Amino acid sequence: MIILACATELECRHVMTRTGRKPDGDTRFDFAGLDFLACVTGVGPVAAALRAGELLERHPAAAGIVNLGICGSFDPRASLGAICVASAEIWPEYGVHSSDGAEEPFGFQMLQDLPLPQVNRLELDPSAAARSMGLRLPESWPCGTSLTVAGVTGDPQRAAILLARYDAATENMEGFGLALAARRKGIPFLEARTVSNPVGVRDKARWNFRLALDSLESVLPTLTGAAA
């Protein structure tokens, strides 16, 4: 069974559109010959980590976690609705922050039993994760570093700092917590998101949540080969 994790019921509903099912609590369903458990995690890294821990305790034989949802893009040229895959997850808020924009990760690990080479970064292998769960990751989907934040980036200056510091492709609010839970459990993790807005831009005329949500509807069929 693959855990299919979405932050909100709205995202989950769009992800499941072509399965013929709707989310109703934790919803277990078969699609394209694969066994899924669709779950709403709640918004933000704390909610996602708590929910992941609960799910893995209840379903210790889970084959992996797939995180689908919407995101912001650090590339102003990125098309709204485009699908992006996380090749690494970083939690930039785990550290010391100064008013001049300086940041420094803590010198100690988050978890005593899970030392990371970089304390706030998880390297991911999306192709290997997809294969191990019986999924098909299209080569045309771009991969890049994703930042997980507790509060979205609210201005271009902050966005520029994060882009320069982490060479980030996208910004989300749940990925790191879910990836960390999967790493601790020793199961694969795959994160694919659709772009809803440029990071740091608060002008809603440049957002398109509807397009990003509609684009989500093709992700699961493509990953499972049902769209072929």
pLDDT digits (tens, 9 = 90+) for 14-53: 999 999 888 888 999 999 999 999 999 999 999 999 999 9
H/E segment holding residue 194: strand 189-198
Q: Range with the lowest mean pLDDT among 2-16, 57-71, 195-209, 212-226?
A: 195-209
User: What is the Cα–Cα distance from 182 to 55, expressed in whole angstroms?
Assistant: 11
Return the percentage of the chain with pLDDT > 70, whole number: 99
Residue 228 has pLDDT above 70, yes or no: no
Give the pairing type, strands 189-198 and 64-73: parallel
Q: What is the pLDDT of residue 204?
A: 85
Condensed to tens digits (0 to 9), the pLDDT of residues 168-192 reads 999 999 999 999 999 999 999 999 9
In Å, how far are 1, 54, 127 from 210, measured between CA atoms? 30, 30, 28
Q: Mean pLDDT in the chain?
A: 93
**Considering its fold, how many domains does the chain have in total?**
1
Is pLDDT above 80 for 13?
Answer: yes
pLDDT band at 114 (very low <50, low <70, confident <90, very high): confident
* Per-residue pLDDT reduced to its tens digit, 119-149: 899 999 999 999 999 999 999 999 999 999 9
State the pLDDT at residue 205.
81
Higher pLDDT: 100 or 179? It is: 179
Helical residues (DSSP H) of 76-218, grouped into ranges: 126-132, 156-166, 175-185, 209-216
